[in-house]
Amino acid sequence: MTIQYLKSSRQHAETAQSDVRETVETLLAEIQSGGEAKIRELASRFDKWDGDIVVSKERIEAAKSQIPDQVRKDIIFAHDNIRRFAEAQKATISGCSLEIVPGFWAGQRHIPIDSAGCYVPGGRFSHVASAIMTVTTAKVAGVKHVTAVSPPRPGVGIPPAILFTLDLCGADTVLNLGGVQGVAAMAHGLFGAEKADILVGPGNQFVAEAKRILFGEIGIDMFAGPTDSMVIADAAADPFLVAWDLVGQAEHGYNSPVWLVTDSRELAESVMASVPGMIASLPELNRQSAEAAWRDYAEVILCDTREEMVQVANRYAPEHLQVQAANEDWWLENLTSFGSLFLGEETTVAFGDKSAGTNHVLPTSGAARYTGGLSVHKFMKTVTWQRSTREGARPIAEATARISRLEGMEGHALTAEHRLKKFFPETEFDLTVPGA
């Protein structure tokens, strides 16, 4: 059994560079001291935007009339799918209670957070889908207030399609802000927005680093690096579709890794021969990104068996994992580390990115080994509770007192012991630690 690299990456994607971190730390400190005035200055400098920061209801209503009917229908279709999938996720979440000992109950509740901040990218692309993925999921979870920010375009503001989408999904406050200043405005609750308890949504390296720095003070969906994708394909797969699936994901950015794992040398060589021509057919900006990603970060890995292919995939833990191979149920059972899984040539990452229902805010840089993507769960807190009768508390208090003394925590022991003395004044308890 051997695993061969027919194409190896020249570089490894970095989640944060020291110069990016330094720049973001400086900007956040300036915003901390300068507040809204500093954010307006940064909006003017970086986004060339000197207009209103808070998007008015009138502007949102006007945006609706600027969208072609088919675009509106497509956005509504995608929103409905994502909403229904999020509702199905929420239906799997339930509280519970257990009688630990007779008369003593413990349980859990799932409580939505109060306020969320959603970042919607808008630089090279107008990420309508990101607006749906983040705001819709938060609202289905039960978040009371959702603030959304998106980079304004000079002289225009947030594009009409994004405004329509944010309103459709239920955003409570919308701000004409991008970059670090947009993240900071949500984090600090500026421009009339509620201070966010959690920040979610994809963004460039500066947005990702701002969320990383703020984490702890505020929750975030995940630490995000460059988007990555893997295709697993066997000899029966269509090399044309495999190649396009790799190219389609490589256009995300110059440092977006794409990986092909296969047990067919013939398919691998066909794909490697086809990709450059496919990239050349893309529009210029897309082509530049895809060329760099394929040249510097792409890998083609040849395996002997499907078990080896699973081994590679589970080690890489890709954000997106496509399987174009026989026996889809076997792959579903054996693949364990991925952000989102796409089984069969009838589906593709772009479906999940845009309109199929599953969320596209997913773990990158191998984080899928320990976490999943954005879901209603990210917007809910799992908390526990307990309740007891006096008889139910007795065995718990006795064990607590002795364990606390074993650990040397006398104050803890006394909180249990004093209850026993109050509840059972006629009873003698031995709460010493044997052998101590």
Q: Which residue out of 209, 251, 291, 319 is catalytically annotated?
A: 319
In whole angstroms, what is the distance from residue 121 CA to residue 208 CA?
Answer: 11
- Dump the DSSP string for 285-325: HHHHHHHHHHHHT-EEEEESSHHHHHHHHHHH--SEEEEES
- Dump the DSSP string for 139-178: HHHT-SEEEEEEPPBTTTBS-HHHHHHHHHHT-SEEEE--
Phi and psi dihedrals of 282, rounded to 5?
-80, 160
* Amino acid present at 436: A
In whole angstroms, what is the distance from residue 414 CA to residue 273 CA?
Answer: 74
Catalytic site includes residue 320: yes
Beta strands in 277-421 (DSSP E): 299-303, 320-324, 340-343, 380-388
Q: Are 408 and 134 in contact, with CB atoms under 8 Å apart?
A: no
Give the CA distances from residue 258 to residues 203, 244, 299, in Å, rounded to whole numbers and listed in that order: 19, 11, 7
Write the CB contacts of 87 (distance below 8 Å, at least 6 apart in sequence). Answer: 140
Q: Are 39 and 185 in contact, with CB atoms under 8 Å apart?
A: yes
Residue with tokens 């920061």: 53
- The token pair at 403 is 């364990």
Q: Which residue out of 79, 127, 188, 320 is catalytically annotated?
A: 320
Calculate the CA dihedral of residues 398, 400, 402, 403 and round it to 10 degrees.
150
Active site residues: 319-320
